Amino acid sequence: MSKRIIICATQVPFVRGGAEQLVDGLYDALRARGHEVEIVRLPFAWRPVQRITESALAWRLLDITHVNGAPVDQVICTKFPSYLVRHPRKVVWLVHQHRQAYDQYGTPLSDFVNSSEDQTVRDAIFRMDRRGLGEAQAIYTISRNVSQRLRYFNGLKSTPLYPPSRYAAQLHAGPYGDYILSAARLDAAKRLDLLLHALAHTNDSVQIIVAGTGPDRARLEQIAAQLGLGSRVRFLGFVDDAALIELYAGARAIYYAPKDEDYGFATIEAFGAAKPVVTTDDAGGVLEFVNDGVNGYVVPPEPTAIASRLEALMADAELARRLGQTGQPQVNPINWDKVVSSLVE
């Protein structure tokens, strides 16, 4: 049965990442299955932190139960604060809450400081989350990691529902080439600096290609220069979809070691291309897929530990092939039919 569905998405202007990829993929999947779909995006500002409640209020005041006199059958909300929208048939597919107020509080990744003003905003976020999420008819999350945070901080139960990569049908295994690929956004939380410091501890056989853009690029290039890495690391900047797929296909392995990641499309994309993943034991959702010595390597977040695994993979293409092909079957059950069936039907 066809439904009129609105996907509610938060957008930080000029920023695109995994959450935007998820929303676009969901839109295409719903339309392909005969639903009438629209995306409602509202801009989100988190600096200064006092602006956060304004963004949340905008969602609360939005009326999308009817559009042009016709009812909207369902809304699917993604990340904070989109799930504050009111609708009798609200389903949440949670990408993440405002993590700076939760698990990142008290770390360099959070803009909140220990002041009465900031604590007031944090308390407001906690109340809004309990209200907005508590109204949902069903709560799904994009990983077990996100579900565990939601249960720990808010006492809410949810069901993990993995999103497919937008490239799932195009990813393929190519030769196990002469470079390690990073396809993550250049952001401090993705810890590309850790990869650069690891590279400085390897022999010259290890070459790195960094594909992507982000606010951390200048700092990362400066680190690479200070470490004297020269041509052993290449920053490609933005690459189009076709080029990215071929970079996955030709890599020896993928480095992806963010700090407590929600999910991590780079992991399932690596396995889709039958490439092993080198990650760390604090990488969060990545660890729901990567098993040490089985389909990649899980090591402490230390440059020397990462370096030893990169050298081992560059020294043995057959090892990389065996690990990568072991990971490939893990991503086959992640598909849009399962997602749409869960969220809508």
pLDDT digits (tens, 9 = 90+) for 84-123: 999 999 999 999 999 999 999 999 889 899 899 999 999 9
Quick one: 101 and 236 in the same domain?
no
For the CA atoms of the chain, what is the radius of gyration? Answer: 21
What is the reported pLDDT for 102?
94
- What φ, ψ does residue 84 adopt, rounded to 5°? -85, -5
What is the reported pLDDT for 281?
98
Residue 172 lies in a domain: no
What is the reported pLDDT for 19?
85
What is the reported pLDDT for 44?
86
Considering 100, 130, 161, which residue would you say is the last residue of a domain?
A: 161
Span 158-181, mean pLDDT?
95
**Per the structure, how many domains does the chain have?**
2
Cα–Cα nearest to 206, from 238, 253, 249, 172: 253
Residue 189 lies in a domain: yes
Bridging pattern class, strands 138-141 and 208-211: unpaired
Question: Across 33-186, where does the E strand assignment appear?
Answer: 36-43, 66-67, 70-71, 74-77, 90-94, 138-141, 159-160, 180-182
CA distances from 82 to 21, 66, 76, 186, 335 (A): 16, 17, 9, 25, 24
For residues 158 and 142, the answer to whether their CB atoms sit within 8 Å is no
- Give the chain's mean pLDDT: 95
Residue 30 has pLDDT above 80, yes or no: yes
Q: pLDDT band at 34, cuts 50/70/90?
A: very high
What is the reported pLDDT for 47?
80
* pTM score: 0.92
Residue 131 lies in a domain: yes
Residue 242 lies in a domain: yes
What is the reported pLDDT for 29?
95
Which amino acid makes up residue 243?
A
Span 213-240, mean pLDDT?
96
**CATH code, 50:** 3.40.50.2000
What is the reported pLDDT for 14?
74
Query: Both tokens of residue 98?
Result: 């405002």
CA distances from 100 to 43, 96, 109, 110 (A): 18, 11, 7, 5
Quick one: 136 and 22 in the same domain?
yes
- Domain extent for 266: 180-331
Considering 96, 126, 161, which residue would you say is the last residue of a domain?
A: 161
Q: pLDDT band at 50, cuts 50/70/90?
A: confident
Residue 210 lies in a domain: yes
Residue 242 has pLDDT above 80, yes or no: yes
Cα–Cα nearest to 46, from 153, 139, 152, 118: 118
What is the reported pLDDT for 41?
94
Angle at 103 between CA 98 and CA 109, to 5 degrees: 75
Residue 173 lies in a domain: no
For residues 220 and 192, the answer to whether their CB atoms sit within 8 Å is yes
Quick one: 91 and 229 in the same domain?
no
Quick one: 124 and 219 in the same domain?
no
Quick one: 93 and 224 in the same domain?
no
For the chain, percent of residues with pLDDT exceeding 90: 89
Residue 343 lies in a domain: no
Quick one: 36 and 98 in the same domain?
yes
- The answer to whether the Cα torsion of 186, 191, 195, 200 is positive or negative is positive
Considering 115, 130, 161, which residue would you say is the last residue of a domain?
A: 161
26-30, 46-50, 297-301, 338-342: lowest mean pLDDT where? 46-50
Residue 344 lies in a domain: no
Cα–Cα nearest to 162, from 342, 345, 344: 342
**322 Cβ contact partners less than 8 Å away, ≥ 6 residues apart:** none
Cα–Cα nearest to 141, from 103, 93, 84: 93
What is the reported pLDDT for 49?
86
What is the reported pLDDT for 239?
95
Residue 4, SS3 per DSSP: strand
Quick one: 154 and 188 in the same domain?
no
Span 28-55, mean pLDDT?
91
Quick one: 201 and 153 in the same domain?
no
Quick one: 153 and 14 in the same domain?
yes
Q: Give tens-digit pLDDT for 59-69.
A: 999 999 999 88
